[in-house]
Every structure is written in C-alpha cells, then in structure tokens.
Amino acid sequence: MTTYGSFPGTRPRRLRTTPVMRRMVAETRLHPADFILPAFVREGVGEPVPIATMPGVVQHTRDSLKKAALEAVQAGVSGIMLFGVPEEEKKDALGTPGTDPDGILQVAIRDVRAEVGDDLLVMSDLCLDETTDHGHCGVLDDEGRVDNDATLERYAEMAQVQADAGAHVVGPSGMMDGQIGVVRDALDQIGREDVAILAYTAKYASAFYGPFREAVASSLKGDRKTYQQDPANVRESMRELALDLEEGADMVMVKPAGPYLDILARVADAVDVPVAAYQISGEYSMIEAAAEKGWIDRDRAIFETLTGIKRAGARNILTYWATEAAQKLGRQ
C-alpha cells in the first residue's frame, strides 16, 4: 500500500542532487576579479628566490615580477600588492629605502606600471617593517618603543614617493593611530587625489604571520603587540573601522582572514565601502604543508577557504593563490 505525506515532507537534498543543480543554487560565487596577488620583489638577486616556508612562492627579481604581473592580468586578477625587500646593508633605523625614489619597492612599482599600465591595479605596502634594521613598522624612540607620530611623518613621505612611482592604491599596514588621515592629506598635498587608500583596519597580532617574516627578510626582534590588535577584541576593530572611514579610507581590510571571519562579517555589515581580507602566509603554508603530506585535497581546501572568506563578506581577497585560483575558475 502506498503511503502519502510521509515524513520528511521537506527535502533540501533535492537541491544538491547534481553538480549543475548545486552550481545553480550556490549563494556565493568566486570570480577572478575578487583576487589580489601579494608579491615580493627582492633587491640584488639574479633569479627568483624560493621562500622555504611558503612552497610555491618566491622573492621575485624585477623581471620575474613583471612576468607574474602579466600572468595575473591574463588570469583576470584585479590587483597586485607589492612588498619590497631591500638589501640588508641598506636597512636603517628610519627605513630609508622606503622613501628613496630608487628604493626597490618604488622601482618595482614603476616596472609593473610600465608592464601592465592600468590593466592591473598596482598596490603598494605602505609600512616600514621591510626597510628598518629593527624590523618594526615604525620609528623607535629612545626607549625602543614605536613612536606613533614620528612614524606618521615617515608614512606621509612614503605615500608620496609610492604615488609618484605609479601606485594606484596604497596600503598603510602599520596600525599607527591616525595613519589614514595623514596619508590622505599627504597624497592630496601633491595633487594625487586619484590614489586610493586600502586601510588595514583590523590587523591582528597573529601567530600566522610566521612565514611572512622569511618572505620579507624581517629583522624583527620581539613582537608588535603594542600596535597590532589583540586577537581577543571585537569592539576595538569596530572603533578602528569608524576612525579609518572618518579619516578617508576608500577600502578597508581585515587581516588575517580565516581566524577572523567573525570580524570580517561584522565589518562588512557595517560599511558601504569595499571590504577586503588578507589570507596570510600562515594560512597558505598550513594548507600547502598538509596537502604535501597527503592529508587534505589541496584544490578543494583552497577553494573552500576562499569561498568562506567571500561568504563572510569580503569583496576582495588578498591570497597567494590569486593567479592560480583565477586560472582555474576561468577554465570552469
């Protein structure tokens, strides 16, 4: 005898039956334009230098960086965030290479702009940590503490030389109080109202930055807990967000991405400007290491994490898989 109206009457699994069905009803879709590629360029090397803690990522030469930028354009990636690694002997207490028009970052900006023009947003890391001999993101006072206001003066000069070199977007990442307002004023003073600011609004003092230290040949001793945010705090992020917007940020960012999806969602719900998230070196390296061991499916893990970051509210994602992910999406 046929029984009608049997339990369950509602069957959500009907919308999961085939790949096409799942694709049609997907609520979150990744697109190559979502991605920004972080890239490192090292002064004084003749070949790309592999980063041992980040398998597949290198410190580029000027030539290999241009090639990477072209590959990103061809894959449909929106931007490239550049980090310069100067020769060790050029580092000093003030981070002079960061404001030298011929410093490696400024040279790299010019190189990439000459190669790709406006087909790729050229973004520049605006911070002193790669260029100081002490490895901190700012100028130190007589007691070895980061001097907020003295650092802002350096950031203003950095913003101007990066804009002069051709940056479309500057990314102040040092978490100094007032940095967005100072950078916006510095850019406007030289008539560069067109240069956008991507504010590192919620940048946490995370354990997941470890591999990045090798990537930028960091000289840091100690930690950055007096200026990067405490992982325990949420309201602090929202306060930083309000300040950055008031000071003129065009876009805002949460960093790291994966461990702070709740912060990302809060920020995305609160603003009407584009929101980015940075899937940082430790997030990248953990997946690569586990995949190398055969413990996880590499591609599935990559796309699952990227989807989770976008689902949480990121309009754009800085990820070391940007070009690879964009290429694979383009083949789907």
pLDDT of residue 5: 63
Report, as an integer, the average pLDDT of 38-48: 95
Number of CB atoms found within 10 A of residue 315's CB:
15
- What does the pLDDT look like over 63-98, one tens digit per residue? 999 999 999 999 999 999 999 999 988 989 999 999
Q: For 51-60, 85-94, 150-159, 301-310, which range has the lowest pLDDT when averaged over its residues?
A: 85-94
Catalytic residue among 66, 91, 203, 310: 203
Taking 70 as the threshold, does the pLDDT of residue 220 lie above it?
A: no
- Report residue 48 CA to chain centroid gap: 21
244 burial level (CB within 10 Å; 0-12, 13-18, 19+): buried
In the set 66, 91, 255, 310, the catalytic residue is 255
How do residues 278-300 score in pLDDT, each as one tens digit?
999 999 999 999 999 999 999 99
Q: What is the DSSP string of 149-193?
A: HHHHHHHHHHHHHHHHHT-SEEEE-S--TTHHHHHHHHHHHTT-T
- pLDDT at position 3 is 62
Q: What residues form the annotated binding site for Mg(2+)?
A: 240
Ordered domains of the chain (ranges, CATH): 29-330 (3.20.20.70)
Binding residues for 5-aminolevulinate: 213, 224, 281, 320
Average pLDDT over residues 184-212: 94
Does the annotation mark 203 as catalytic?
yes
Q: Is 255 one of the annotated active-site residues of the chain?
A: yes
Distance CA 177, CA 322 (A): 31
Q: What does pLDDT average to over the chain?
A: 93
Task: Render pLDDT for 160-191 as a digit per residue (tens, 0 to 9).
Answer: 999 999 999 999 999 899 999 999 999 999 99
Q: Which residues are annotated as a binding site?
A: 213, 224, 240, 281, 320
- pLDDT above 70: residue 213: yes
